Amino acid sequence: MNKLHSQSDWIARAQKVLPAAGFGNFDPGIIISHGEGSRVWDENGDEYVDYLIGSGPMLLGHGHPEVIEAVLEQLPKGMTFFANNAKGIELAEAICDAVPCCEQVRFLTAGGEADMYAMRLARAFTGKPKILKFEGGYHGMSAEAQMSLAPSVQVNFPKAVPDSAGIPQDVADNMLIAPFNDLAAVESLLSEHQDVAAIIVEPLQRIIPPQSGYLQGLRDLCTKHSVLLIFDEVVTGFRLEYGGAQERYGVTPDLCALGKIIGGGFPLAAVGGKEEIMRHFDKSEVGADLWLMQLGTLAGNPIASVAGLKTMEILRREGAYETLKQYGARLQKMQSDALAKSGIPHKICGDETLFDLYFTSNEPLDYRSAKHDDPSVNTRYNDVLRQNGVFKSPGKLYPSLALTEADFELTEAAVAKAVAAIA
């Protein structure tokens, strides 16, 4: 291999032009060269089974031929217009057909942007300033979202702890923080604070599942207190089921944020909800004082729209979600069996379509309980997996429909080595 193009060379170049030598997303010590199907390759030519899949959007795998064909058909017709286009309208129709709460949608470019607008929309509709979010919940990079995402110190609820510099105190003053899976805490806060516009929640918080009845309990409390319920479905949308967490759990919020899968691997997101709330994007309907100004250069662009439409079409085919869940269950079992055989305490946490391990005997119920007894064990486990051809986040595993029998065999062999390394 030409050393000028080795991974170490790219890392050195990144260190000169990128803060912390990376894009801020993932380990900057690995530079991905390309992906195909269920695999990715780094700049050294090392090959991996990909369980990161771009942090979720590549549910069909890399370079799915039907998605590529749709994109190539659109490319010569135009890449973006900053104007309505037929493919974007078709995608909006498909999303509204699929997602229970979506009577209308507004396109954006990133999931965090969709979360931001969902919170702003709730404030405009209700006329109330405060947002209730859950400790450990991830909703993008807005100032509101960067409250108690990953606090290093425990404080009393509902105090909000900023996770980033540069956020004014008045943002924290308008955020209430509650523990996930604790309806009593939410009810107490809503009874005490009459100025809450919305609750924003990941229906599956990172990988922590909601307890039975929890999401319906949130729905009921929001209805009782005239508070909007926002589901952040950037990750769960079109992953847990075709209709997302709303279909899986049978609970319909007032608003939701969508992203990742709806763009088919291209930048695209959406905020969707009831027409009476979404009308705040229409100045002619609500007037200047209640209007939400929103625009984005690439929002609803036809390239992302056709990729999303084709991805969604493939996911509607018979057996797609059954297959995805079978794959996830197999990956869960191979790890749990190997760890149990070696007597290593662990919990599989999440859904078959999105999960990971906690090295603990405790049940992960919220941010404070979802942790490893010894984080170094998790670090070692994931390091050995990567050394043996498994590419994943240290806290999340995304199955994809592109997985093959050879991928499962490689993964099982890597798991055996990782378990041996921590036994």
pLDDT per residue over 259-304, tens digit each?
A: 999 999 999 999 999 999 999 999 999 999 999 999 999 999 999 9
Average pLDDT, the chain: 96
- What would the CATH number be for the domain defined by 65-315? 3.40.640.10
Q: Quick check: 1 pLDDT over 50? A: no
Domain with CATH 3.90.1150.10 in the chain: 31-63+319-422
What confidence tens digit (pLDDT) does each residue in 25-63 have?
999 999 999 999 999 999 999 999 999 999 999 999 999
Length of the chain: 423
CATH superfamily of this structure's domain 31-63+319-422: Aspartate Aminotransferase, domain 1 (3.90.1150.10)
Catalytic residue IDs: 138, 232, 260
In the chain, CATH 3.40.640.10 sits at 65-315
Rounded to an integer, what distance in angstroms lies between the CA atom of residue 18 and that of residue 98?
40
Answer yes or no: is pLDDT of 230 > 80: yes
Q: Residues 182-204: pLDDT tens digits?
A: 999 999 999 999 999 999 999 99
pLDDT of residue 2: 47
- pLDDT higher than threshold 90 for residue 3: no
Whether residue 211 is predicted with pLDDT greater than 90 in this model: the reply is yes
pLDDT band at 121 (very low <50, low <70, confident <90, very high): very high
CA distances from 354 to 51, 136, 284, 335, 393 (A): 10, 17, 42, 14, 12
Q: Is the pLDDT of residue 4 over 70?
A: no
Question: pTM (2 decimals)?
Answer: 0.96
Read off the pLDDT of residues 343-387 as tens digits, 9 standing for 90 and up.
999 999 999 999 999 999 999 999 999 999 999 999 999 999 999
Task: Say yes or no to pLDDT of 166 above 60.
Answer: yes
